[in-house]
Structure 1
Amino acid sequence: MSIEILPDLLGVFFFAVSGCLLAARKNFDLVGSLLLGSLVSLGGGVVRDLVIGQLPAAFSNPLYLFPPLLATLLVFFLYSGVEKTKGLLTVFDAAGLALFCITGTVKALDAGLNPVASALLGVTTAVGGGLLRDVVANEVPQLFNRHDIYAMPAFLGSALAAVCYLTGILNLSTGLAIAVVVFAFRLLAWRFRWHAPLAVWRRKA
């Protein structure tokens, strides 16, 4: 199965909205919102494409420039009506994460990388943009938030995508099912504050 452009563009849009929402929360201007939305939505894919030796899709296909622009305009006009909605940024971020871990893995497999490297590159695609977004906006990156689980859903989605790809059952239906699982995992982890063990084990007194 070759990578489908529609899921990739949807992932770009969802991540771009998360970046623009953060920009609005930080009182960035319109240009800053567009840049942050573009950074989070295209950054992971650029890293992925450079690793596999391809011209990044963000620079070779003009379609990839429209989702960040659309997200910027939507947040500009609608933010005042949704700014009190808790977790909206996390919802859009989770949707982008769910799609990018799959499309990133599939693109790496299509390029001839082995399954393990492809899954790792899928995770990089999924979490890379969010990491850049949080660092640029002077936020503690969700990737390193000890009270949350961010990368583990992406690892699960990338692994499932690689297995389905290798067994020949990866299609739009199975891809959507994987995305739903990753999306739900991410939101449940955020809602119930699931977290991974700390780097150092401490014996309870």
Structure 2
Amino acid sequence: MTLFTLLDHASVLIFALTGALVASRAQLDVVGFLFFACLTAVGGGTLRDVLLDRNPVFWIANPAYLGVASAAALVVFFTAHRFESRYRVLLWLDACALAVAVAAGSGVAQALGHPAPVVVVMGMITGCMGGLMRDVVSNEVPLILKQGELYVTCAFAGSAATVLAAQVTPSPGLAAIGCALVTFGLRAGSLAFGWRLPVYKSRPPR
């Protein structure tokens, strides 16, 4: 199993857990859990592979990814009631998934020889799009649109760290670790300490 295959498996697992938690908050049946888990788990990676013209798409080449997502959905279906605050668990799991997925997406693009702007965008797409699909389908305000919260910024910084690390070390493993640490560190700071960016405030027209 290659490094990026391992990262894809990890991001699929963690994102699937978040999708299933959203299904539990909506009080869906077990099929609904499976749908949300799989949609969230493979959404970002699917868009990445389509844009990069990787054929076949990762989960079509290896359907075991769907098995991982489905298993995660079933675990949450039988255990979600044990959590005092499912939303809090969702936020932190999503932060972990974001870090791993950004590392996977930017690393795959870099391994294919794409230039730095493409590497950055692919990391952001892989990290953000699965969660965006999950939130839109569940009629929730997407986490990436929470006012002032660091989310897309984390994905951007992590992807940029992948590009910078490649200038320092030839090891894709070290680059992936650096990317994940930067992404998670910023997202965790936003959740735990309220780190924010300035937001646009409209003014009355003159």
- Please report the TM-score for the alignment, with normalisation by the length of structure 2: 0.89
The answer to whether the Cα contact below 8 Å between 1:90 and 1:187 also exists between their aligned partners in 2 is no
Percent of aligned pairs sharing the same letter: 32
2:28 matched residue in structure 1: 28
Q: 2 CA distance for matches of 1:83 and 1:29?
A: 20
Q: 1 CA distance for matches of 2:30 and 2:84?
A: 16
1:101 matched residue in structure 2: 102
Gaps of 5+ in 1: none
Query: What SS is found at the alignment partner of 1:199?
Result: coil
The answer to whether the Cα contact below 8 Å between 2:162 and 2:178 also exists between their aligned partners in 1 is no
The answer to whether the Cα contact below 8 Å between 1:146 and 1:196 also exists between their aligned partners in 2 is no
Cα displacement (A) at 1:202: 5.3
Mapping of 1:7-86 within 5 angstroms?
A: 7-54=7-54, 55-84=56-85
Mapping of 1:1-205 within 5 angstroms?
A: 3-54=3-54, 55-84=56-85, 87-200=88-201
Cα displacement (A) at 1:200: 4.2
Query: What SS is found at the alignment partner of 2:147?
Result: coil
What amino acid is aligned across from residue 48 of structure 1 in structure 2? R
Q: What number of residue pairs does the alignment pair up?
A: 202
What amino acid is aligned across from residue 22 of structure 1 in structure 2? V
Cα displacement (A) at 1:56: 1.1
What amino acid is aligned across from residue 163 of structure 2 in structure 1? A
What amino acid is aligned across from residue 101 of structure 2 in structure 1? F
Query: What SS is found at the alignment partner of 2:150?
Result: coil
CA, structure 1 residues 170+87, in 2 after alignment: closer, same or farther (shift >3 Å)? farther
Q: 1 CA distance for matches of 2:37 and 2:84?
A: 17
Cα displacement (A) at 1:104: 0.4
Q: 1 CA distance for matches of 2:19 and 2:188?
A: 18
- Please report the TM-score for the alignment, with normalisation by the length of structure 1: 0.90
